Structure 1
Amino acid sequence: MTKATEPQEPRDVAHARAHNIQETSEAMPEPGMTMLQRIRFLIGFLLCGILWYAPFAAVIGILLPQRFLDDGVADPTALVAQLNSIGAFVALFANLLWGTLSDRSRSRFGRRTPFIVVGAVLAGLFLWLTSVVNGALLIILCWCGAQLFLNMLLAPFFAVLSDRIPENNRASMSAIYGLGVTIGQSIGQILSAALLTNVAFGILLASVCLAICGLLTVIVWPKEPSAASLPAAQRGQGVVSVIRAFTPPTKNCRDFYLALFGRLLITISIYMIVNYQLYIFREYIGLDTARASASLSVAAIIIMVASLVASAIAGPLSDFLHRRKPLVIACALIIAFGFLIPAMIPSVWGMYVWAAFHGFGVGVYNACDQALNVDVLPNKEEAGKDLGILNLSNTVGQMIGPVATSIIVIAFGSYRLAFLIGAIVLACSCVFIGLIRKAK
């Protein structure tokens, strides 16, 4: 018997089908990755977390506050708040800008790679300038430049979780990145505490680390595929199309905004305390410069160890259970409990207990938060833009947190109320996270 000939699709239908398959493959991550690729991504996420956060934690948390004391600034607490709030306001728009532009990039080096490399270099340059210029206004302007280009690095960097990482590996990647952030915070805090008498050199060292961050990350990662040949349907179509690309999501986005507000409240509470550790040890606890420096180093080590333990547990556990929400809620409650200790026991040991709970809670948070954000994205093809919007919660939180603490301290003359209010804000964040339906 002669085998029946199958009917052939019309050429235009076949072409459309192939086009759709190609477009889908470009928009979604590969279903799996080799062990070597996984290791390279893990190292890259860890490395980037360390190399961008250590410089920023060192400069905004300790070195610039110490410079303000050395320069005889009348109200250094208020100036730190201004620096954080204005810089975060810049980052508010920068995150969305760079995320959207990287979504639409068609570079032969890939959609994200050029932004990551160039952003790191320019952020490092402006960070260094904060130690060179004189006067509060110029320092703030340079800090704003550093925030602008830091987000040129970070917005595309986070979009890689959606672009190139399969769903069953995202929590592990988020965990290793969060571990890098925690290690970076601790390293930055320890080194900057040791360099309180040489602020200019400390900021220079931090700037160099930040400048090389992007290049080292993309070298370690598997090479990003060229974006020059993406289908025409994903290409930009003029200025109007670019403007439309900045529009926040409006469909299937309930969980997206719940995640945004939950993350915002967590970030606000964290930054109510983190950027004021030097002043808390000196003014709230009553230590001199030498003892405050030593105590900062001990607190940094405690935070790092606690976060290492938490990240090692939470990331793999989240991937294994396919659960994000319970762990994010747990981390908020853990951090909130830690806030109550120095509020009730204003001592060095009270701060060390806070550091332990803070480190463990932030370790869990960093392990699961970015994975949760990717899970609630309304449109994977606009991951850079939408993750940029979600990351606005970080920048707005960095803006509101220090301002809230500054207002509280000026009004009541103590950091105790800042700890208590921070704990309440963390408890409120659990409500938003708990209402999310799309992610488990």
Structure 2
Amino acid sequence: MQAALIKEDHAVTINNAPSASTESALAAEPSRRKLGILGPYLLFATLAWGIPSSSVGTLVQALLAQIDEANKVQLSAIVATVSAVLGVIAAFVVGALSDRTRSRFGARKPWILGTALFSAVSMSFMLVADGFVTIFISFVAFQAGLAAMVVALSALLPDHVPTDRLGRASSLMGLGSLFGLALGGIVASAFITTPRVGLAAVPWLMVLAAIIGWFIIPKSSTLHRTKEPFSAKKLLGTLKPPADRDFWLVFGGRLTFLLALLTVVGYQLFVLTDYFGAQPEEAGKIIALGGIILAAGACVSTVIFGAVSDRIKRRKPFIIGAALILSLSLALLLTSREPSTFLLFSAVASVAYGTYISVDQALMVEVLPDQDAAAKDLGFLTVANTAPGIFAPGLAAVLVAGGGYPAVFVGAIVIAVASIFFIFPIKRVR
């Protein structure tokens, strides 16, 4: 990723800046475009990072269980927490750098490809991991690269997608996430007894998506931006969070919704083996089947509600409804200790998750306070994706120690309901 940093300068110069009329035309251009081939690519790219994202966590847990069965929960919590923290930092930094990158290939492509390569190479070391330290370093590096790649991909929406098609674009990315979740479960199941191989191989899907994106993402050279030497002080200045009420309400709603889901799903292997009494191989099959059920059910609601949201120009009712349905699905886990109950949870949660992701990406883009800092601000919102990964392992561990897995389920229900109270007060989006 060889790209110079620039300072945003709106003054018109003769040699390296477009005219005012050209700038106006460029600014208006996205509103006249349709999604075209970018739509299917957003689905595929999300799928390509979604499969590793949803499978490597389970495979790392399986590997840690092989290395240190007695301390697997604590070691998993350490790995997940530290990797999530560094993922947050990576999202901030890459978001800011992406917004300020000069390149004839555009601001996003170099970062998408570079971070994908970084993640895939990092996980290759799992093949020779013989202890916790190697696993820890490889997984932390992978998660940092993954978070950075997601920020750069998300910035394609404000860059190239018109407002009246944000719901459709959000739905396509949601479908990619769903298929990634389902296929990730199948991948985790396939490698559950040989986790090293899966951990080293699967992240290269991200590289494939980045290479394809290099040719599909619309050309948008940023060489017209003013070139300036790198300055750490100026870079840190760009990392200042936006002072916008609606922005932070969306942040809180997303964080709590995902925290409620990940507090259970992030420990699904241990939930199935330690609470529902499934053997590891049976648990792997249930995780795979549950992922398929989740994807199938959510696929329907994603396709429907993304388009409906665009048509009626409403986002908030769908997010609120999703939180209520998620609460119901979590409550089902308290009704029985049969492993099949987890599949019922997956079926109901699929409606919640599908409804949520069909409009959440659109909601995020619509509350961005500054389009010129879209990737940086999306980096802050990405914290709402990664922060649950920071808090969920520790929260689940505390709840398990204090009240067993039923306490985890009850805690997740409370958090899901709390997410609603962040969405109600949003003013700029209906």
Q: Quick check: TM above 0.5?
A: yes
Q: Alpha-carbon deviations, 1:311-339, whole Å to 9, x = none?
A: 11111111111111111111111111100
The structure 1 residue matched to 2:209, chosen from 210, 213, 235, is: 213
Matches within 5 A, 1:240-251: 240-250=233-243
Is the CA contact (8 Å cut-off) linking 2:126 and 2:200 kept in structure 1? Answer: no
Is the CA contact (8 Å cut-off) linking 1:266 and 1:332 kept in structure 2? Answer: yes
**Aligned-pair distance for 1:129?**
2.1
Matches within 5 A, 1:148-297: 148-221=144-217, 223-230=218-225, 232=226, 239=231, 240-250=233-243, 253-297=244-288
Is the CA contact (8 Å cut-off) linking 2:167 and 2:309 kept in structure 1? Answer: yes
- Determine the C-alpha separation between the residues in 2 that align with 1:237 and 1:13: 20
The match for 2:30 is: 30
The match for 2:4 is: none
Is the CA contact (8 Å cut-off) linking 1:169 and 1:319 kept in structure 2? Answer: yes
- Range moving further from structure 2, 285-294 or 171-180: 285-294
- Is 2:380 aligned against 1:424? no
Q: Alpha-carbon deviations, 1:395-433, whole Å to 9, x = none?
A: 111111121111111233x21111111111011110111
The match for 2:53 is: 56
- Determine the C-alpha separation between the residues in 2 that align with 1:209 and 1:432: 35
Paired AA for residue 423 in structure 1: I
- Determine the C-alpha separation between the residues in 1 that align with 2:343 and 2:383: 30
Q: Alpha-carbon deviations, 1:296-319, whole Å to 9, x = none?
A: 222111111111111111111111
- Determine the C-alpha separation between the residues in 2 that align with 1:76 and 1:320: 48
Kindly tell me: are residues 107 and 423 of structure 1, through their superposed partners in 2, closer, same or farther at Cα, counting changes over 3 Å?
Answer: same
Q: What secondary structure, in the 3-state scheme, does the structure 2 residue paired with 1:346 have?
A: coil
- Is 2:427 aligned against 1:437? yes
- Determine the C-alpha separation between the residues in 2 that align with 1:188 and 1:142: 19
* Structure 2 unaligned regions, length at least 5: 1-10
The match for 1:41 is: 38
Q: Alpha-carbon deviations, 1:271-296, whole Å to 9, x = none?
A: 10112111111111001123222222
**Aligned-pair distance for 1:178?**
1.0
* Structure 1 unaligned regions, length at least 5: 1-11
Kindly tell me: are residues 28 and 123 of structure 1, through their superposed partners in 2, closer, same or farther at Cα, counting changes over 3 Å?
Answer: farther
- Determine the C-alpha separation between the residues in 1 that align with 2:254 and 2:28: 25
**Aligned-pair distance for 1:53?**
1.2
Paired AA for residue 326 in structure 1: P
Kindly tell me: are residues 94 and 57 of structure 1, through their superposed partners in 2, closer, same or farther at Cα, counting changes over 3 Å?
Answer: same
The match for 2:379 is: 388
- Determine the C-alpha separation between the residues in 1 that align with 2:44 and 2:274: 35
- Range moving further from structure 2, 428-437 or 121-130: 121-130
Is the CA contact (8 Å cut-off) linking 2:87 and 2:148 kept in structure 1? Answer: no
The match for 1:354 is: 345
Paired AA for residue 229 in structure 1: H
Percent of pairs identical after alignment?
Answer: 25
- Determine the C-alpha separation between the residues in 2 that align with 1:187 and 1:13: 50
- Determine the C-alpha separation between the residues in 2 that align with 1:27 and 1:276: 45
The match for 2:8 is: none
Q: Alpha-carbon deviations, 1:125-172, whole Å to 9, x = none?
A: 112323432222221121121122223311111111111110011111
Is the CA contact (8 Å cut-off) linking 1:122 and 1:211 kept in structure 2? Answer: no
Paired AA for residue 50 in structure 2: Y
Paired AA for residue 53 in structure 1: G
Paired AA for residue 189 in structure 1: G
Aligned length: 417
- Determine the C-alpha separation between the residues in 1 that align with 2:55 and 2:180: 9
- Determine the C-alpha separation between the residues in 1 that align with 2:258 and 2:287: 21
Kindly tell me: are residues 115 and 283 of structure 1, through their superposed partners in 2, closer, same or farther at Cα, counting changes over 3 Å?
Answer: same
Matches within 5 A, 1:108-123: 108-123=104-119
Paired AA for residue 129 in structure 1: F
Runs of 4+ more than 6 Å apart: 12-15
- Determine the C-alpha separation between the residues in 2 that align with 1:80 and 1:121: 24
- Determine the C-alpha separation between the residues in 2 that align with 1:346 and 1:102: 48
The match for 1:107 is: 103
* Superposition RMSD in Å: 2.1
**Aligned-pair distance for 1:237?**
7.4
TM-score normalised per structure 1: 0.90
- Determine the C-alpha separation between the residues in 2 that align with 1:244 and 1:29: 30
Paired AA for residue 58 in structure 1: S
The match for 2:3 is: none
The match for 2:317 is: 326
Larger Rg: 1
Paired AA for residue 223 in structure 2: A
- Is 2:69 aligned against 1:73? yes
Q: Alpha-carbon deviations, 1:76-96, whole Å to 9, x = none?
A: 112211111100100111111
Q: What secondary structure, in the 3-state scheme, does the structure 2 residue paired with 1:191 have?
A: helix
The match for 2:400 is: 409
